[in-house]
Structures are given as C-alpha cells and as structure tokens.
Structure 1
Amino acid sequence: MMKNVLFVFIMSLVFSYKTKSQTPNILFIAVDDLSTNLGVYGNNIVQSPNLDKLASEGTAFANHFVQIPTCGASRASMLTGLRPKNRAQLKNNILELVATTKKEEETPESFIHHLRRHGYYTVGIGKISHSADGLVYGYNDKPSETFELPFSWDEFLFDSGKWKTGWNAFFAYANGENRQSMKNQVKPYEAGNVGDEGYPDGLTAKLALSSLKKLKDSSEPFFLGVGFFKPHLPFNAPKKYWDLYDRGSILISENPSIPKHVNLKSLHDSGEFNSYKLTDEIPNLENQISDDYAKKLTHAYYASISYVDYQIGLVLNELKALGLDKNTIVVIWGDHGWHLGHQQIWGKHSLFENALKSTLIIKNPKAKTSGNVLDNVVETVDLYPTLMKLANIEIPYDLDGESLDGLLNSEEVKHTNTAYSYFKDGISLRTERYRLTKYFRVEEPNIELYDHLKDPNETINIAQKKKDIVTKLMPLLEKGNTGLYQTQ
C-alpha cells in the first residue's frame, strides 16, 4: 500500500515538472511611447543595444500598429484583443470605467486573467494597464485600494520611491518633485545627475530582477508583466544616457510640415507637450519650433530610450542568468508611437503613421528561426491570440486579431496584412502599401490617402487624385467600423 502511495506521489511530481517545463513562461514588457526609433528598425543614431540584441534572437515587426494612439485605450485593446466598439473605448480611463466596476464574468477581463485561469502565476510591475501602479486614482489624488485589473494578478508590485505615489513617479523629476507638485512649471526634459534608480524605471527594473529570482522556484508557469515609463514625457533620464549622443549628429524629422491637402482637424497643437510650461519653445500648427530645439528634444527622447533599453537589458540578462530564457517567451511592446516634429506635431494622438507605429519584438525560444525583421502589417490585437497559441491555451470567444505564431516560425501563412486604428472621429486602415483614413466629421477633406511606396513620410494626401484606390479600399476600411461611427 505504501509503495503504491509513494509511486503515485512520485509520478505526480514528475507530471507536474513535465507540465511546467513544457508550458512556456511569459515575460511581457510594455514601454510607454516607444516608437520604432531603434537600431533594429534602421535608426543608426539611437543607442538601443539590448533591444537590438533581443530582436536578433527573436522577431521584430517593422509594421506593427496600435489600435488607439493614446496610452490607456491602446492598452485596453492589447489586454482584451478587441478593437474599440464605442467612443468610451477611445479614452484613457476605459479600463477604470469597465473592469473595476463589474463582478468577475465568464469572459476574462484581460489575456492575463485568461492565463491565470489556466494555471499561470501572474505578477505585474509598473504600468501594464493605464494606471502607473495598477491602482485607480487621479493624478493629484492619494492612491486607492481599487485595482484597475482586479482579476488578473496574483501579485502587483510597484516602488514609487521618493515620489510616494505611482502618478507622481510617472511624471518624476530627479529631485523628488513631479509635474503635479510643480503645477506644470517644469521643463519637458531633464538630464539628472543621478544613477539609474534616481528615476522610477530603475526601481522598476530592480523589482523585476527580484521577482524573477522568486519565480524561478515557482511550481507554476509564470506571466511577468513589467511596465516602463520612458520615453513618455517628461523626457527625463540620467545624464550618462544623454552623454551617449553628439547632438550635432542627431537628425530632425524629414517631414516637419503640415501635410498637403489635409484639414487641420486631422492634426493637433501638441497640447500634452505644451502642458510642460517651461518648455523652451511652444510648438503648434501655426509655428514650427527651431531646428536647435527640435534637436534638443529628439536628443532627450533618444536618451530616454537608451535609459529604458539598459533597464530592459538588466531584466533580460537576469532571465538568462537564472536559466529561464530557454522556456520564456519575451515580448517588447510599445503602446503607440510619437511625432518628433513630424507633421508639425510633438506628441501622439493622431491617425498618422508616426503616432500609430510602435515597437513589437517577440522572442519565442521554441521558434524555428530568429533574427528576422518582418514587414508584414500586424496590429496590437494580434498579441492576445499569439500568446494563447504559444501557450497552447484555447480561447472560447471571438477576438479581433490573428495569431502571429506562423510568422515567428517564418512559415508561409495567410496573413491579412491590414491594421485598423481609431481616434479623432476617424478610422485609419493600413495595408502593405497605403494608409486610408476616413474622418466622420463635417470639415473637409475628411478622406486621406497616403502611398507608402512613394511617400513613406505621409506628406501629401492623394485621396482626390487617386479616387479609384479610395473606392477600392473603402469597403475594407468600413469593415473596421463596428458601430463606432455613423457612416455619412
């Protein structure tokens, strides 16, 4: 009898080990405002060695587009695998409005929730949903005890350091102040004479390292979500990362002017940027800033990228040192792009390429190939089905994306090569060659077409000149309008 009991116990341990060893862990790193200004994507000035190295070991998607060019709404689409179906889903507080006010339902609130239901131990650090520390409260308020994703996490961690709250840390300056405490009387950049932990992302990396050490001994597969703030405004980073660059060699935007044949309603006056009241110059649609200031801001953005790249490198190196890299899927995802003066805009919040295209790098240690930079058009909603496919977890409900697992293996697969994005009363369709945008507004022109083969910088709206292409693509664009806007 005792032999039988011992045998069953040993076999259960073997089965548990086998199951854990075959089920991949997932390290998901979200980076705020990370465009495709990386070495792997062809930027020869920005210094991003750790992200470039990861891309050489996995797959980088050169044409990844987000659903909504604003943080909270973009992350909601990423987490749910769904394109927006109503206007509320275009807002930063959509997860606060929906996920935090309902009881747990059969349909999970996020793909993390779905993983948790299927045996994953889930840990979050930093900004994964919209909240800087996972809790629901206003920028100037005290933290609440309400989680933005109440059913997704086994653990949620954040070190707010000398800034004391998540939102203070999000807008942090090296002296412990923040945008709110200074009543917006701050510059949109800073080269702090501090070490890496003198800004919050260094503290986030430190938490990630300690979490990986603990997760190594977990009896369950893990999902670790790590959210870094930079290069979101303010462009603040330790001075040593600024010192990596010679400002004279930094190039400014190739398309710094308002595109031809567009209505100004398609653009904006860089309001988020201009909320930093001590900015050297004020960009808007009437006045371009000087080339010198454009170089300074681009320098600041690149320094912020290099700072977060180093933090990501620390996490990836620890993953390898612990022997976890061989069974851990790694995803780097930027929640949207950023206009560095492109189309006379400094910021996101537009339906142009610069606001919608962001970094997506996936390393599947079981993939048959690596080091590919793919031109396929993919979108953020593809992440949910991709991760479920790689984790061998079924999805018993409909999603809007499609799995990228075949592309990760360089297989000949049928892929739609289209991406839908939504903002400013508009829908934008990206195909392999064209971007077609339709605005549901009175102001004309409300149709814009850009030929990325001939005009990759989107400088000329050719909708009137190429009406045949608009007619051909419009039914495909309208497929993405699932009740969001009324057709005119």
Structure 2
Amino acid sequence: MRLWFLLLTSALSLQAAGPNVLFIMTDDFRPELASYGSPAITPNLDRLAKKSVQFQRAYCQQAVCNPSRSSLLTGRRPDTLRLWNNGTHFRELNPEVTTLPLWFKDHGYITRCVGKIFHNWHTTEKGDRRSWSADEFLHYANHGADTPQVTGELPPNQITEPSLRNYGDVPLCECRDVPDEAYYDGRVAAEAVKMLAEVKDQPFFLAVGFWKPHAPFNAPKKYWDLYDRAKLPPLNSNRPEGAPELAFHQSTEILGPVAEQKQPTAAQAAEMRHGYFANISYLDAQLGKVLDALEQSGVAQDTIITFIGDHGYHLGEHTLWGKTSNFDYDARVPFMIARADGKNAGTRTESLAELVDLFPTLVEMCGLPRPEGLEGDSLVKVLEDTSASVKPAAFTQHPRPAYFDREPDKKPKAMGYSVRTGHVRYTEWRDWNTGEVIARELYDHANDPTELKNRAGENTLKEVESHAASLLAQKFPSKKS
C-alpha cells in the first residue's frame, strides 16, 4: 500500500510539471472592444494581446451565462449537458462530470478561484467547490447587488439622464467618485493578487473571473471620464431585413419585464453605451493589477495566460439589448492565449474556434492526459501556426423563449441552431417537440458583417447555404423522423 501511494504521488508530481495557468474570464464582453485599436480604452488588454495569439473568430456555445460557462468548463456542448438556462446547475443533471479546474486539481495542480467563473446566482449548488483546492472568493452573488461599498459618506450619483430603471439594488447607470474596491471587480483583483502570492511556488491553475462589463453600468467615475460620449461609435439599431421573429427576444435583462418596459430615449441609450465602455475600462484596470502581480511573482515565464468572455452583447443593435440571440454580436467572444514560451506573441488568427475548445487546448499545452467526453478540439496546432485551422465551423444555439424556464411549462418552444463557417452564419429554428425547421437565416459575412439582411433561400447563395446546413445537420441531427 505504501509503495502504491508513493508511486501515485510521484506520478502526480510528474504530471504537474507543466506550466501554470492564469485563467481570466469576463462577462458580457464584446470581442471587437478587446482588440488592439478599438474605441475602448484598454491599455492592459493591449499589452496582454501583444503577448498572445488572438482568435478573431471565436464563438460561445450559447449566449447566456450558465449554459456557456458550464459548457466551456466541462468541455461539453449544451445539448450534451441538457442545460440551456440559468437556473439549473450543471451537476443536477451531470453529477460526476469533470471540469477543467477539477482535471488540473486531479493531476497535481493547486486550483483556486477568485470571482465569477461558474454561474453565480440562483442555482442550487453555489459554484463548484469540488473543482478547487480551497474555498472560492466572491464567486456567488448577484450583479444587481453590486452596490458601492465605501467608508464614510457615499458620493452622489452624477448620472445626467434619469436611469431607465433599477437593476436590482442599484440604478442601471451609476457614476460615483469611489475607489475601485467599492465594487466587486476591484475586490476580485485585490484578492487575486494575494492569491497569486500564495500559490506561485507550486504548480497552479488560478481562475480570475471579472464581473464586468456586465450591467449595471456603474464603474467608478474616473472610468466614465475617459470617454467623450459624442465620440463613441454611433448606434445602428436596424433589424436585419427578412429575419424571422424567432431571431429576436424581448431584451428583458436590460429593459425589464415586458409589461413594464419603456424603450430608452436616445439620451438614455447613449448613457448606457457610455457606461458599458466605462465598465470595460474599469475591468481593464483590474486586469492590469493581476498582470502586474504575475510579472512581479517570478513565474510569469512559466505561466500560460488565457483571456476569454462567456459571450458577446448587444448595445441596441438589431433593436436588442443584452444577449440571448444567435447573432454574431452575441455569439462571438474575446479569446486570447499567451503561451509561456511567448511563441507567436502578438499575432492574430482567423481560424475558427469555440469556447468548448479551451479545455482540450490547455490540457495538451500542460502535458496532461485528455479526459473522455470532451467535444472541443485542441487549438495547439493553431498556436504553433496561426494560418492553420482545426475545424470547418463553430456552433452556437439558443432557445425560444430566451428564458424558457420562467414560462409555465418550463421547456422551450423552439431551439435555434446556428453554424458560423468562414464565410456565412446559417441558423435553423427548429420546433422543440418535432424537430421541424420552422425558420432559417443566412448572413453573408463577406458583404454583410453586421448581419443586416437575411439571405436564406437566395439562389446566389444556394451552394454555401447547403454546405452550412449539412454541417449543422451533422452536429445537431434533427429529432424529426
């Protein structure tokens, strides 16, 4: 028995000899604003990008928090997990599934969690304690409870327009002259710096989950002050010509319950967009504190850094606010990997990628065995050669109603399955019970990158539509007999 224990300990030690992982995650981050030269002021993202391979066409598997995070952290698609809503914890239906941090923990790494990594609210299990070597920090709360915590008198809210509504316990837009640590992400960054100092002398997988730029739009005042609202990109709110009604949703996350909704005025829309940019710059400053701590730790040269978002976001485009669609605004995500050896640092790749690919990629990069059941593809080949490709398409899906678990029958009426190839986005809306295709969308990204005309059924695109439909049918066979 003692010999077996020594052999096991030795094996785990050898398995943990690979690089460390600093796993950084954000919430509701539009990918074009994470790119160098974007209108967002992000000096720390820019310096991380200069160290990374940046995947310009990376996609989530479902554009809402819990399904996306559960999918990428287990390496399984939402249909495999049977998870398409925010209220069901992935372990309710998949109790023994392994997760990315758990796999690293089982192979000799110290795994720690600061901030929002797993879904953070109204699930029966809070986070996933078994994935971590110690308790999670500020991982389970409500975005609407992120009220400013300060010593002494609270500075006034300097928002000029009446807020469209409250977002939980705070106004949807809030601008107060408070320190970074007044809100969640400032405290997440401070704790991550402390935790890095604790784990740096052993193989570690440190996950840092920032809550921003998710609403409410309440970054400290100094981040609002970085922007001239009149110079931010203009809003084109046009709906795509010919798109089916199923493609849209009611924007309840931002606009509130349908019966109480008021459409934002132009000034309110501009204020929310300004606040979103302020949130991004606030997040960026917190990221900088973590990157500084890594550089000062002495182990930066032995550490892989990943930076991802769980999905994209609409800021009034297509008349939508928030996420929960299959449009590229929601489906595409920021995705960077900085190798420990610095190879191909500062390069961009057009190779298609999915969040579900991150699990197998990190496993291979760290020399760990690949667990069974992963549905993504390792991107190591692309990290070695950014002109390479490992997959012909990326897949995203979303149910209708968008938040079906709030409906009386607690099940979808339809599921939208969407495939992004190198040239087009093709979506089929299928009846949930029969699998019958009840609507289609096709967007020609070569000529229409913001998806403003549905060209499904056009003869000129018949061949590419047929190819995309074939890819979709292979990945998601229809229930229809």
Shorter-chain TM-score bucket reads 0.7 to 0.9
1:206 to 174, 190, 209: 190
Q: How does 1:394-473 map to 2 (within 5 A)?
A: 394-410=369-385, 413-424=388-399, 425-441=415-431, 446-465=439-458, 466-473=461-468
Superposition deviation, residue 201 in structure 1: 0.7
CA–CA separation in structure 1 for the residues paired with 2:447 and 2:367? 41
Superposition deviation, residue 417 in structure 1: 3.6
SS of the aligned residue for 1:428 comes to: strand
CA–CA separation in structure 2 for the residues paired with 1:151 and 1:39? 32
Q: Equivalent residue for 2:102? A: 113
Letter in 2 for 1:167: A
SS of the aligned residue for 1:229 comes to: strand
CA change 1:86–1:391 in 2 (3 A) is: closer
Letter in 1 for 2:19: P
Q: Equivalent residue for 1:272? A: 253
SS of the aligned residue for 2:83 comes to: helix
Contact 2:55 2:350 in 1 (8 A): yes
**Is residue 2:374 matched to residue 1:384?**
no
**Is residue 2:228 matched to residue 1:228?**
no
**Is residue 2:266 matched to residue 1:282?**
no
Superposition deviation, residue 342 in structure 1: 1.2
Q: Equivalent residue for 2:327? A: 352
SS of the aligned residue for 1:447 comes to: strand
CA–CA separation in structure 1 for the residues paired with 2:218 and 2:136? 23
SS of the aligned residue for 1:192 comes to: coil
**Is residue 2:93 matched to residue 1:93?**
no
Q: Equivalent residue for 2:161? A: none
Contact 2:63 2:323 in 1 (8 A): yes
2:476 to 465, 481, 488: 481
Contact 2:430 2:438 in 1 (8 A): no
CA change 1:477–1:368 in 2 (3 A) is: same
Contact 2:174 2:218 in 1 (8 A): yes
Which segment drifts farther, 243-252 or 395-404?
395-404
CA–CA separation in structure 2 for the residues paired with 1:97 and 1:388? 22
Contact 1:48 1:305 in 2 (8 A): yes
Superposition deviation, residue 461 in structure 1: 0.3
Q: Equivalent residue for 1:71? A: 65
CA–CA separation in structure 1 for the residues paired with 2:132 and 2:273? 36
> Cα RMSD between the aligned structures?
3.0
CA–CA separation in structure 1 for the residues paired with 2:381 and 2:44? 25
Superposition deviation, residue 440 in structure 1: 0.4
CA–CA separation in structure 1 for the residues paired with 2:218 and 2:256? 15
User: Identity percentage over the alignment?
Assistant: 34
The C-alpha deviation readout for 1:332-352, integer Å capped at 9, x for no partner, is 110000011111101100010
CA–CA separation in structure 2 for the residues paired with 1:184 and 1:426? 30
CA–CA separation in structure 2 for the residues paired with 1:226 and 1:464? 45
Q: Equivalent residue for 1:257? A: 238
Letter in 2 for 1:131: N
**Is residue 2:298 matched to residue 1:318?**
no
2:180 to 173, 188, 196: 196
Superposition deviation, residue 42 in structure 1: 4.6
Superposition deviation, residue 263 in structure 1: 1.7
CA change 1:364–1:185 in 2 (3 A) is: closer
Q: Which runs of structure 1 show a deviation greater than 6 angstroms over 4 or more consecutive aligned residues?
A: 442-445
Contact 2:145 2:169 in 1 (8 A): no
SS of the aligned residue for 2:277 comes to: helix
CA change 1:153–1:239 in 2 (3 A) is: same
SS of the aligned residue for 2:47 comes to: helix
The C-alpha deviation readout for 1:224-282, integer Å capped at 9, x for no partner, is 0111111111111000000000111011334x1111111222101211102299x9x83
Which segment drifts farther, 339-348 or 434-443?
434-443
The C-alpha deviation readout for 1:24-45, integer Å capped at 9, x for no partner, is 00010110111114252552x2
Superposition deviation, residue 118 in structure 1: 0.6
CA change 1:319–1:19 in 2 (3 A) is: farther
The C-alpha deviation readout for 1:1-53, integer Å capped at 9, x for no partner, is xxxxxxxxxxx9xx99x95995100010110111114252552x210110111
Contact 2:147 2:170 in 1 (8 A): no
CA change 1:59–1:122 in 2 (3 A) is: same
CA–CA separation in structure 2 for the residues paired with 1:83 and 1:358? 16
Which segment drifts farther, 414-423 or 56-65?
414-423
Letter in 2 for 1:282: K
SS of the aligned residue for 1:343 comes to: helix
CA–CA separation in structure 1 for the residues paired with 2:480 and 2:327? 21
SS of the aligned residue for 2:201 comes to: coil
Letter in 2 for 1:264: E
The C-alpha deviation readout for 1:154-207, integer Å capped at 9, x for no partner, is 1133259xxxxx424663122689xxxx78475312112210001011011111
Which segment drifts farther, 241-250 or 392-401?
392-401
2:111 to 83, 102, 122: 122
The C-alpha deviation readout for 1:79-107, integer Å capped at 9, x for no partner, is 111112268411123435537x83xx4xx
CA change 1:326–1:183 in 2 (3 A) is: closer
